[in-house]
A and B are shown apart, each in its own frame.
Chain A
């Protein structure tokens, strides 16, 4: 596929890796957090860790939207789905996230709930048009990439006066999460970020400048193909060696400083910043998520169904929280690949293919001595 295969070429990857070996200073540690699950997936799938010098350590970050969704939010979605008047629509991965009492949306469906997997928000709108006597709720999750399609659905629902459509909004924002991780201080030592690329296609690279400056950490906005990741690592090593802490873009083929102005303005019209939002692993993170804008209150499922948020602790054996904070690796979890596997996930990191545990389960665990 064009613009994919070229960025997976093995000969160039080996050359890039050799280049990185010449760049690193042997007495230095380079602890780089890949914020996005897309990077985690690429690193595991192409065995990139094995190509890098030993003093570069890649650390998984919290950038998998399915992984960071706290149990309490999934519980609310299940509560909605179990109402006989509701059809709950959701992107596929969320259906398998374990919630309270051994429930998941899949399990709710087995109990008779009408849960539909959709590929896009327009599918959810169509279900609402086709089922005028049911309340159709779109369970919206995802980072800034997934938010603009939700914004368009809200605008379209209003235009069509779709009275039976609403959105349970759980969209989260990347820069506040990055800030939160860095502000936690000694919890995890980082020297730089492999920054979100598709998110930056929408919001631009500029929003990371304040974080990079405030915490003196370099950020390189990196594409998701293996060569993109390698080039971004090289760019970070160069910044760290030179003592620079800037935001640079490697994924210049789709990211500008300002991003997609049209998409950002649709989001600003339809959604508003929450004071605080709970992330799995990170706890309450101020100004890190969006709610439906008061102008669109009629489409806000939280208001329509008077949903109240309740914090639920994670399963005791599950280390997802520490993994999402960059403190532990999947293989540090006692139940990894034993009780917990992709067919029967105990925690959210084992659900989506971008989750750290699922990525390590599929690609990493048979590679001798190679950390995830």
Chain B
């Protein structure tokens, strides 16, 4: 039950609510726990609440680093 997932805010609604897109399915969730939610933001969703934002640049950096490490391994062991 602790699992949470990244979802994209597709529309902000009144009362700190928002519509999020989960793999093509939309759902209404609360964004009351985060500061300045924006349409297009990715957030971590848990039990119906966005609990934090996801930083797209950091995600890209993490992936690039792993990609690099993995690539250097396949060069080292052909």
Q: Which residues of A contact B (CB under 8 A)?
A: 1-4, 6-7, 11-16, 18-19, 22, 36-38, 41, 63-66, 91-94, 119-123, 142-143, 145-146, 148-149, 152, 198, 201-202, 224, 227-228, 230-231, 234, 250, 252-255, 259-263, 266, 352, 354
Contacts and interface: CB of A to CB of B under 8 A. Distances in A.
B44 A198 contact: yes
B13 interface: no
B30 A122 contact: yes
Given A15-B69, A231-B62, A254 B1 contact: no
Contacts of A1: 5-6, 22-23
B35 A262 contact: yes
Contacts of B23: 1
B70 A14 contact: yes
Contact of A146 (B8, B44, B46): B46
B5 A252 contact: no
A265 to B, nearest CB: 10
A250 B65 CA distance: 11
Nearest to B59: A253
A250 B61 CA distance: 11
Contact of B49 (A36, A91, A93, A120): A120
Q: Helix, strand, loop or mixed for chain B's interface?
A: mixed
Contact of B33 (A15, A91, A230, A263): A263
Interface residues of B, number: 42
A231 B61 CA distance: 13
A253 B61 CA distance: 9
27 contacts: A1-B5, A3-B42, A4-B5, A12-B66, A15-B66, A15-B69, A16-B70, A36-B2, A64-B2, A92-B1, A93-B1, A119-B48, A120-B48, A120-B49, A121-B47, A121-B48, A145-B46, A146-B46, A146-B47, A148-B33, A198-B51, A231-B65, A252-B58, A252-B62, A254-B44, A260-B33, A263-B33
Nearest to A145: B46
A50 B49 CA distance: 35
Interface string B21-53: 011000000101111000000101011110111
A269 B46 CA distance: 21
B67 A260 contact: no
Contacts of A149: 30, 33, 46-49
Contacts, number: 149
A142 B48 CA distance: 14
Contacts of A41: 3
B52 A202 contact: yes
B49 A148 contact: yes
Nearest to A228: B62
Given A2-B8, A253-B54, 18 more contacts: A3-B6, A4-B5, A4-B6, A15-B66, A15-B72, A18-B70, A18-B74, A18-B77, A119-B48, A121-B47, A146-B46, A149-B49, A152-B49, A228-B62, A230-B66, A254-B53, A260-B34, A354-B2
A202 B51 CA distance: 7
A222 to B, nearest CB: 11
A253 B5 CA distance: 13
B30 A91 contact: no
B62 A254 contact: no
Contacts of A6: 59, 63
A1 B72 CA distance: 27
Nearest to A149: B49
B54 to A, nearest CB: 5
Nearest to A14: B70
Contacts of A145: 2, 4, 46, 51
